[in-house]
Copies of this chain bind each other. A is one copy, B any other.
Amino acid sequence: MKPFVVSYNLEDMNINFQGNKVVRRYRDIKNIFLNKDEELEKENPVIYEVFEAPVPENEGDLMFLITILYPGKVKGEFFMTKGHYHTVENTGEVYMGLRGKGLILCQTKEGDFEAVPIEPNKVVYIPPFWAHRSVNISDEPLVFFAVYPAHAGHDYGTIEKTGFLKRVFSKDGEVSFVENK
């Protein structure tokens, strides 16, 4: 494999990362939200898109991607990603904010929880063993760049069973954390 370069442009949201593209619509992920929304069920909008680079999933390689998480709420709960642990748990991840404003919810299987801000000019480090989910708390698309070991894999199942310890709602125009029961 040779070195290569890919490009992106946030002004026209043209992201040429040349790899796999993942699109998650409301109906694909509606179960991650506390409540159901009939309007969103009908419209089935895109909640987020992931543009991956064409890196093989080999140990030693690094995958990188750009995520666009659109603004919106499901009965007051901010749009968010599914969130996951890495299958190979001893693997970290680096996020760089490119546009919009959000939170990265992080937690461990031991019950630690952190919410870390992400926005332009900020870089977030998610150490090995921490699950991570992105939440868009702004009125514009939240766009961020991420890098992780290409062999890390995605364990979505654990989060599907337990959820994250807290949910993030808009309440009277403020960001409000709600314990997940």
The chain A residues found within 8 Å of chain B, CB to CB, are 1-10, 17, 53, 55, 59-62, 64, 90-94, 96, 104, 106, 112, 114, 116-118, 121-128, 130, 132, 145, 147-150
Contacting pair A147 B147 (CB below 8 A):
yes
Cα separation A3 to B147 with both chains bound (whole Å): 15
Known: A116-B3, A117-B5. A125 touches B55 (CB 8 A): yes
Known: A125-B53, A147-B147. A114 touches B3 (CB 8 A): yes
From the candidates B17, B61, B104, name the one contacting A92 in the complex (CB within 8 A). B61
Contacting pair A116 B62 (CB below 8 A):
no
Question: SS class of chain A's interface: helix, strand, loop or mixed?
Answer: strand
Selected A-B contacts with CB under 8 Å, 17 pairs: A2-B114, A3-B104, A3-B106, A3-B116, A3-B124, A3-B130, A4-B124, A5-B122, A8-B123, A9-B121, A53-B123, A55-B92, A62-B94, A62-B148, A64-B147, A96-B96, A123-B145
What is the count of identical protomers in the complex?
2
Seed contacts A8-B123, A62-B62, A147-B147; 11 additional CB < 8 Å A-B pairs: A3-B114, A3-B116, A5-B123, A60-B128, A61-B92, A61-B127, A62-B125, A62-B148, A64-B94, A64-B125, A96-B96
